[in-house]
């Protein structure tokens, strides 16, 4: 996430370890790790434009591998700071670095599970509209942002995010200043029921918040919160009359190479949780259950950056597959997508990312976790302005 690596002075040590999710079980790929004698730049408390920054002239950084491992050059000294960041997850830990190799414990390098700047910990400010149809809050709890029952359900009251009723979710979207308190907002399937009308003011609020750096996530039957808000980015099947389809399962293919590498590098117990649930043993193919929307097309969305260059900020497809209830039924379609809008990003999946209570994480839940972290990373150059809404 840092643009420039400058040759460090007096490098006489290395610091090695592995970055894990807050639950200390899931390795994190693509995290930035460096050691410094200086203060790390904190995560702003609320929506912001995450542009990459340069490390200092006495620092070098490493990017974690697909298995979460890292080896970063460092200068020996007492009271150094180990900085680990992925998106809005940031941990700063004071360590003593001896000449030669230094191995840090996972607890010193894992992504934090709470917002506690006094303890060197920052996490995204997250709002989740509650719905049992796609209980994303269970996934967030499983990765360490809450406690779960043996059956894998969030124990309410332990969550490190805001869990909103549908009426509260609607009220949030009507209040731009309240939205600005969050880095990520989830509107999962059926959250739209009870949220009220998707008014012009609400559409403007969503676009403005995303343009300022917000991360916007929508799933299947809540699709109007994608296609009405960002109509020139994609076309959903049946969008002209009713894009809410009947349920279907399908075999998807992971087409993003970094996502596939991370899935392949996961420990074996995470690849197959058993119990008849889909597994990761046939990558790049994955079984995707409980789809309720279809994507007919994603479009290039061209905008001009500060250097006068045309840049495509349209959707990046992560997973694709067929839609048996669409016409034609054998067309390969994007099923998990993300795009940029100003400083922010939006995500959409045609399927539920969580289906009921269960222990462990299914492939589609792991994919969600990966993309949440990826869309939080910084922009390597100042992002171009948002395109026209229509």
pLDDT tens sequence for the chain (390 residues): 443 344 445 788 999 999 999 999 999 999 999 999 988 899 999 999 988 766 655 568 899 999 999 999 999 999 999 999 999 999 999 999 999 999 999 999 999 999 999 999 999 999 999 988 889 999 999 999 999 999 999 999 999 999 999 999 999 999 999 999 999 999 999 999 999 999 999 999 999 999 999 999 999 999 999 999 999 999 999 999 899 999 999 999 999 999 999 999 999 999 999 999 999 999 999 999 999 999 999 999 999 988 888 999 999 999 999 999 999 999 999 999 999 999 999 999 999 887 678 899 999 999 999 998 998 888 877 888 899 876
What percent of the chain stands above pLDDT 70?
A: 95
CB 341 within 8 A of CB 334: no
Instruction: Enter the pTM of the model.
Output: 0.94
- pLDDT the model gives residue 55: 61
Residues 301 and 313: their CA atoms lie apart, in Å, by 5
Residues 318 and 267: their CA atoms lie apart, in Å, by 21
Place of tokens 């993300």: 338
């Amino acid at each position: 996430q840092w643009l420039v690596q400058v040759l460090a002075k007096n490098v006489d040590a290395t610091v090695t370890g592995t970055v894990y999710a807050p639950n200390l079980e899931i390795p994190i790929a693509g995290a930035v790790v460096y050691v410094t004698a200086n203060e790390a730049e904190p995560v702003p408390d609320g929506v912001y434009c995450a542009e990459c920054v340069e490390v200092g002239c006495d620092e070098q950084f490493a990017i974690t591998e697909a298995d979460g491992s890292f080896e970063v050059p460092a200068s020996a000294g007492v009271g150094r700071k180990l900085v680990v960041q992925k998106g809005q997850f940031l941990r700063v830990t004071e360590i003593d670095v001896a000449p030669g190799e230094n191995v840090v414990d996972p607890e010193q390098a894992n992504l934090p599970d709470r917002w506690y700047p006094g303890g060197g910990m920052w996490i995204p400010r997250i709002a989740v509209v509650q719905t049992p149809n796609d209980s994303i809050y269970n996934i967030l709890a499983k990765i360490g942002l809450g406690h779960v029952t043996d059956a894998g359900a969030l124990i309410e009251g332990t969550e490190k995010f805001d869990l909103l009723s549908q009426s509260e979710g609607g009220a949030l979207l009507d209040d731009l200043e309240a939205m600005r308190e969050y880095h990520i907002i989830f509107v999962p399937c059926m959250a739209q029921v009870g949220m009220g009308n998707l008014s012009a003011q609400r559409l403007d609020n969503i676009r403005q918040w995303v343009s300022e750096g917000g991360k916007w996530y929508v799933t299947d039957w809540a699709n109007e919160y994608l296609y009405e808000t960002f109509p020139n980015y994609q076309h959903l099947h049946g969008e002209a009359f009713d894009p809410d389809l009947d349920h279907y399962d399908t075999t998807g293919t992971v087409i993003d190479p970094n996502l596939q590498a991370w899935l392949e590098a996961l420990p074996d117990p995470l690849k197959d949780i058993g119990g008849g649930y889909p597994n990761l043993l046939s990558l790049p193919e994955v079984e995707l259950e409980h789809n309720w929307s279809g994507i007919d097309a994603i479009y290039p969305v061209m905008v001009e950056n500060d250097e006068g260059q045309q840049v495509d900020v349209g959707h990046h497809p992560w997973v694709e597959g067929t839609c048996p209830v669409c016409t034609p039924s054998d067309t390969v379609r994007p099923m998990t997508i993300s795009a940029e809008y100003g400083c922010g990003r939006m995500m959409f999946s045609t399927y539920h990312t969580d289906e009921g209570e269960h222990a462990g994480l299914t492939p589609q839940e792991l994919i969600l976790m990966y993309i949440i972290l990826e869309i939080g990373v910084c922009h390597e150059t100042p992002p171009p302005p948002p395109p026209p809404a229509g």
